[in-house]
Amino acid sequence: MNKLPVALTRHDANKIARYTKRRKQFSAAFYALCVAIALLSVAILVVLLMSIGIEGQSRLSTDLLTRSHSELQPQRSGMWPAIVGSLLVCGTCGLLALPLGIGTAIFLEEFKPRNRWLLRLRSFVQLNVSNLAGVPSIVYGLLGLTMFVYMFNLFGQIQVNQSSGWELMGAKHLYQVLTLEPDHAVFIPQTNRNQNQITIDRPLDGLDQDWNPIAIDVWAPGTPQPKDPEVRRRTVAAGTTGGTVTDKAWYYFRLPLDRSFLAGGLTLGLVILPIIIIASQEALRSVPSSLREASLGLGATNWQTVRDVTFPAAVPGIMTGAILAMGRAIGEAAPILMVLGATISKESGPRHLMDNAVTMPVLIFNWAGRQQQEFKQLSAAAIIVLLVTLLILNSVAILIRHKIQQSQP
Amino acid sequence: MPLSSTTDTTPTDPQSQRGRTLIRIQNFNAWYGDFQALQDLTLDIPRHQVTAFIGPSGCGKSTLLKWINRMNDLTPGARAKGGISLLSDRPDEQTVDVDILDPNVDVVKLRRKIGIVFQKPNPFPKSIFDNVAFGPRLHLKTTKSELDELVEWALQKAAVWDEVKDRLQGPALGLSGGQQQRLCIARAIAMGPEVLLMDEPCSALDPASTLAIEDLMFELRSQYTIVVVTHNMQQASRCSDRTAFFFEGRLIESGETRKMFTNPDKNQTDDYVRGKFG
Amino acid sequence: MALPKALQEQDFKSTTTGMLSERLIVSCLALCALTTVLITVGIIYMLISQSVGFFSSDQITLREFVTGTEWTALQSKQLQQSKFGILPLLSGTLRVTTVAMLIALPLGLITAIYLSEFASPWIRSWLKPTLEIIAGVPTVVFGYFAILVISPSLQWFSGGGFATFNATSAGIAVGILCLPMVCSLSEDAMRAVPNSLREGAYGLGCTPYETAVKVVVPAAFSGIVSAFLLAFSRAIGETMIVALAAGTLPTFSADPTRQAQTMTGFIVEMIKSENEYGTVQHFSLYAVAVTLFAITFLMTLLGQMIRRRFQESYE
């Protein structure tokens, strides 16, 4: 068979040349399309940043950073409570997710079992982590709402922000009773939690507004009132009723967690947990196994190997993943909205562990959805603050990584 | 059998022990999953000598080495049957000190007695001092000065002390390949092992560094029992006392190195050492 | 040379206590890993137990929920008049997601081809961070972008053919959000294709386009499909953009120029309305969430399985 196949002999050189030329042109056109589309993503980012910058620049003022939201004065509204709230919520979130996530990653990467069944279990956990990463954050929000805010109603049917559930620490319940002096009250410690009111009919020991113990006198109507303001301030008309107030220390804690920043932080922790696990696993996986072998060959146990060799080598990678995850947490609005509610009228950051909080993304969401032009501009300004916060976070991460890499010989 | 913690681990008079069997391998079989890597292998490794394992790649020599200090525990699917035992220094050469394949054996203690040096130098990304002190810090209760002394001793033994004494706190990764490998040897010696396993310790090194490591092996055998896996026939003939030739998962022949290279019993060995295959 | 004192003394640390603390630490770490399983169990338990509260109500049957074309949980004040048919919400989600995928998949894939096959290191060093920044922008910002820029532009281009809140503008924003994800996952898949395949193609006289599209993309196909699935599931679960830009009226249609409340959008509206705990309206949250979770869960599961297969084939 010395004859060439027909397909190779029949060719017309011109035709092939033309065809090749067309193929080349097509390829060049495709290349141009690639460049154009790749540049499109840059253009989108530029348009995004510019439009928000233009919209928000007029509202970038100290008012924005120091004041709180005001329904009536849009022009003087600010986001101070939201900044504090965001930082606290993210702090809580990191405290939960970082140890848990890094621990899980170490377990999955460094303690691989040899037993077949355990290996299967491990790959199940691994698959589970990947799936958790794909669960929409709003479902985590619903989980947070059910698990932390209501706690599956294990503590009885609870009306949010009305019942106090199981108070564990930091709460002092008092009756507040008005004295003869206008706008002045004394406080009587509560002994029976079920009794919400007290009627004063005899002298009692109580506290003044600065929590100093005082003796409370009773003035019977009909008799002359004391004149001395000092005395009037600790004298109560007989028959006056007092309602319950609760003084909450910063460590006030109760179950269920209610719409507290703690619940919000924990929920966010669940959202970023899979991200941290996956990033840490990748960081650990990139540590060369020769280091692991060297350590084990020297008679180190698995844990000693992790502690002294693998983990230190993986720290920069883990840090990067953790910072990325924290960035995600700061910008996440949906779960926070579910857990903390949509109200933004707080005037300060959280005062105690069970206090509600506003976060930046929720505030942005609220402002952006309003009709008034002022609020829309404020929203853009708040976005600028949020993006700058993210920028700072990432720069800190780069700096820390740099430091760590330098300090490691 | 659990490890005894008596002090018989460091022989007082090395020379009187020389040549007595330290590691006894009997009817040993090893698998990776369904693949049988080693078949029915019986071999004695004598004290204070250098034993070389030679053979073409894939013949199972590294597998055997890694079973001797149970590094194969890390490989999923690796199984073994038969016996590898570390003998005590009684003259009868019968008393078993450690049954290495016993699943209950304390691998931490085992690996302290049987150190390993790998193919590629793998110092930790720490300082030179911390690298050598890694093992002692894990296993020994030492004072600061004792540790300093130990590190200097190990580095001197491994013949790198003069090159690194001025930069003990410097990064180990800044050393050259040959220095790194000697550092790894120092790191293994610093735990006070009886046996040093070396898995092709020179394959990643230049000729000059190779020579330095070979000299070192020869030096160290007065105090340690050395098992070295090598691809390099000249290396085996230069620096080992005994040689074992593996082929396709079987031990073909073992004996005095000089005899193995000049007048082996089996033709296969002869062909291999003459470079006809492998 | 004398043996150093530390080795002569043979004063070894006890391995028993070492083993004990080792066990303790390993159990702690195992507990961490177990938590992740517990979270999944928690999600599933919550969704099932709470939506039982919804389906056990007299007003609702499962059949109506699945086939009903009206959803008026928030619109009608009386429970009796509320209609709970999931289809309008599903159609809203589908419209937004379709638009998003029409944006994200082609753009993401082509950008990935460019990055993995053609881009010079200099361009990569600019393009990759740009995409990473887009990936790091909070979703609420994209929602704002949709109502500030995208929706007015659409109205301007179409001469008022689009409603103020519409599925398209939300979809475009979601598409931009998913673009970096599609891009980076597909690029990973294409980079994993061995270079020998490319060399083979060029050796046969293929043009760069033919090499990329006819050789590399098919070789990385399963990785690209899994990227698509993961992006799809991300788009379905996206919340803040649709809550801001897609409108609040559940409509059962295929018209992307109209308002479209999605499943996630409904959940947000429900939370904003602060319905009391225990009402049927409140429990409808969980019924919607079950649907959402089931869809995304299947998508990610499928995506992960395809990805695993694909990774194995190259190792």
Provide φ and ψ at B60, rounded to 5°. 100, 0
Same-domain status, A177 and A306:
no
Sign of CA dihedral C28, C32, C37, C39: positive
Could you say which residues from 105 to 144 on chain C have a Cβ atom under 8 Å away from some Cβ of chain A? 107, 110-111, 113-115, 118-119, 123, 126-127, 130-131, 133-134, 136-144
- Position of tokens 């890597």? B37
* Model-level ipTM above the cut of 0.95: no
Please answer whether residues A186 and A236 qualify as being in contact, where contact means their C-beta atoms are separated by less than 8 angstroms: yes
Choose among C37, C244, C267: nearest Cβ to A368: C244
Check if A134 contacts C (Cβ < 8 Å). Answer: yes
Residue B9 counted as domain residue = no
Q: Do B134 and A298 touch (CB under 8 A)?
A: yes
User: What CATH number does the domain containing B210 carry?
Assistant: 3.40.50.300
Domains and CATH numbers, chain C: 79-314 (1.10.3720.10)
According to DSSP, residue B49 is labeled S
**What is the model's pLDDT at position B7?**
41
Whether B184 and chain A come into contact, CB under 8 Å, resolves to yes
Confidence of residue B58 (pLDDT cuts 50, 70, 90): confident
DSSP codes of every residue in B164-201: HGGGTTSBGGGS-HHHHHHHHHHHHHTT--SEEEEEST
What is the distance of C-alpha C14 from the center of its chain?
51
How distant is the Cα of A275 from the closest Cα of chain B, in angstroms? 27
* Rounded Cα distance, A231 and A208, in Å: 12
Domain with residue A354: its CATH number is 1.10.3720.10
Give how far C312 is from chain B: nearest CA, Å. Answer: 16
* A200 and A240 assigned to the same domain: yes
List strands edge to edge, sheet with A241-255.
Answer: A198-199, A241-255, A166-178, A185-189, A204-207, A213-219, A235-237
Cα-flanking dihedrals φ and ψ of residue C71, to 5°?
-130, 105
Chains meeting C at 3+ CB pairs closer than 8 A?
A, B
Do A229 and A364 fall into the same domain?
no
Q: Which residue of A has its CA nearest to C147?
A: A368
Closest residue on chain B to A113 (Cα): B76
**Is 80 exceeded by the pLDDT of residue C245?**
yes
Q: Quick one: three-class SS letters along chain C?
A: CCCCHHHHHCCECCHHHHHHHHHHHHHHHHHHHHHHHHHHHHHHHHHHHHHHHHHCCCCCCHHHHHHCCCECCCCCCCHHHCCECCHHHHHHHHHHHHHHHHHHHHHHHHHHHHHHHHCCHHHHHHHHHHHHHHHHCCHHHHHHHHHHHHHHHHHHHHCCCCCCCCHHHHHHHHHHHHHHHHHHHHHHHHHCCCHHHHHHHHHCCCCHHHHHHHHHHHHCHHHHHHHHHHHHHHHHHCCHHHHHHCCCCCCCCCCCCCCCCCHHHHHHHHHHHCCCCCCHHHHHHHHHHHHHHHHHHHHHHHHHHHHHHHHHHHC
If we measure between CA atoms, which residue out of B22, B25, B24, B29 comes closest to residue B8?
Answer: B22
User: Are A199 and A246 part of one and the same domain?
Assistant: yes
Q: Which residues span the domain enclosing B40?
A: 21-273
Of A33, A274, A338, Cβ closest to residue C110: A33
- Give the model confidence (pLDDT) of B6-53 as tens digits: 444 444 555 677 788 899 999 999 999 889 999 999 999 999 999 999
**DSSP type of residue B264:** -
Backbone angles phi, psi at C11, to 5 degrees: -90, 80
A290, A299, A409 member nearest B122 (Cβ): A290
Q: Is B191 on the interface with A (CB under 8 A)?
A: yes
DSSP B140: B
Q: What is the mean pLDDT of residues C82-106?
A: 92
Please indicate, yes or no, whether residues A384 and A266 belong to a single structural domain of this protein. yes
Identify whether B278 is part of a domain: no
| Chain B hits for A301, Cβ within 8 Å | 108
Q: Which amino acid, B204? A: A
Q: What span, in angstroms and rounded, lies between the C-alpha atoms of C261 and B104?
A: 63
In a domain, B5, yes or no: no
CA distance B120 to chain A (A): 8
**C233 close to C250: Cβ distance less than 8 angstroms:** no
With a cut of 70, which residues of chain A have pLDDT below it? 1, 153-165, 407-409
Give percent of chain C above pLDDT 70: 95
pTM given for the model: 0.87
Distance from CA of C23 to the nearest CA of A (A): 9
Q: Which residue in chain B has the smallest CA separation from C5?
A: B146
State the residue range of the domain holding A38: 6-56
Q: Please answer yes or no on whether B108 and C18 come within 8 Å at the CB atom.
A: yes
Out of B74, B120, B171, whose CB is closest to A409?
B171
Three-class DSSP category at B262: helix
Determine the average pLDDT of the residues in C127-139.
91
- With beta carbons under 8 A apart, name residues in chain C contacting B107: none
Instruction: Yes or no: say if B232 and B151 are a contact pair by the CB < 8 Å rule.
Output: no
Report the range of poorest mean pLDDT among A191-195, A352-356, B62-66, C177-181: A191-195
Instruction: Looking at the complex, report in whole angstroms how far the Cα of residue C22 sits from the nearest Cα belonging to chain A.
Output: 6
Q: Are A351 and A248 in contact (CB under 8 A)?
A: yes
Contact criterion met (CB < 8 Å) for A294 and B138: no
Residue B15 within a domain: no
Residue B142, phi then psi, degrees to nearest 5: -130, 155
Q: Do A297 and B116 touch (CB under 8 A)?
A: yes
Question: What is the identity of the amino acid at B207?
Answer: P
**Binary contact (B120, A119; C-beta < 8 A):** no
**In this predicted structure, what is the pLDDT of residue A328?**
92
Rounded CA gap, A107 and A281, in Å? 9
Helix (H) or strand (E) holding B146: helix B144-157
CA distance C7 to chain B (A): 6
Q: Report if residue B194 sits inside a domain.
A: yes
Overall domain count for chain B: 1
Say whether pLDDT at B3 is over 60.
no
Q: Are residues A244 and A354 in the same domain?
A: no
| Touching partners of A (3+ C-beta pairs < 8 Å) | B, C
Count: domains in chain A: 3
Q: Verify whether the Cβ–Cβ distance A103 to C133 is below 8 Å.
A: no
Contacts of B133 in chain A (CB under 8 A): none
Q: Are A128 and A141 in the same domain?
A: yes
User: pLDDT tens digits, residue range C247-258?
Assistant: 888 888 888 888
Quote the pLDDT of residue C104. Answer: 95
Alpha-carbon span B167 to B123, nearest angstrom? 15
pLDDT at position C35 is 93
pLDDT-derived band of residue B4, with 50, 70 and 90 as boundaries? very low
Per the CB < 8 Å rule, is A136 touching C293? Answer: yes
Query: Considering only alpha carbons, which residue of chain B is nearest residue A289?
Result: B122
The answer to whether residue A212 sits within a structural domain is yes
- Residue B7: is it exposed, middle or buried by C-beta count within 10 angstroms (0-12/13-18/19+)? exposed
Look at residue B121 and tell me if it is in a domain: yes
A97, part of any domain = yes
Residue C307: predicted pLDDT = 76
**Tokens 């720069």 belong to residue:** A395
| Residues A382 and A368 both lie in one domain | yes
Find chain A residues with C-beta within 8 A of C22's C-beta: 301-304
- Residue A61 is assigned to a structural domain of this protein: no
CA-nearest residue of chain C to A299?
Answer: C15
- Rounded mean pLDDT of C104-115? 95
Number of Cβ atoms within 10 Å of the Cβ of C7: 23
